[in-house]
């Protein structure tokens, strides 16, 4: 799960990952995860490295990676 600082950041990340061919699903941020955003992205564990690389290349900041 990838957590971002805002809902807008989550939406930008969703588009970035879709354009990069990384499957991601927008879900509500779990109550136990501290974030100002109420949305996060669920990704397959095997795609985590590819997702983080694509987001860094696009200058999309990730607040946290939760497993």
Per-residue burial over 10-26, b if 16 or more Cβ lie within 10 Å, else e, is bebbbebbeebebebee
Q: Which pLDDT tens digit goes with each residue over 11-30?
A: 999 999 999 999 999 999 98
For the chain, the domain total comes to: 1
Range of the domain at 35: 2-65
- Determine the Cα–Cα distance for residues 35 and 31; give it in Å rounded to an integer: 9
- Categorize the per-residue pLDDT at 1 as very low, low, confident or very high, splitting at 50, 70 and 90: very high
Indicate the pLDDT class of residue 40, thresholds 50, 70 and 90.
Answer: very high
Distance CA 12, CA 62 (A): 11
Distance CA 57, CA 38 (A): 24
pTM exceeds 0.85 for this model: yes
Which pLDDT belongs to residue 37? 87
Q: What is the CATH number of the domain that holds 17?
A: 3.30.70
Q: Is the pLDDT of residue 33 over 90?
A: no
pLDDT for 32 equals 84
């Amino acid at each position: 799960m990838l957590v971002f600082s805002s809902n807008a950041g989550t939406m930008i990340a969703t588009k970035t990952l879709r354009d990069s061919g990384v499957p991601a699903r927008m879900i509500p941020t779990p109550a136990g995860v501290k974030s100002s955003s109420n949305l996060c992205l669920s990704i397959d564990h095997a795609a985590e490295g590819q997702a983080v690389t694509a987001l860094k290349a696009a200058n999309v900041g990730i607040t946290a990676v939760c497993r």
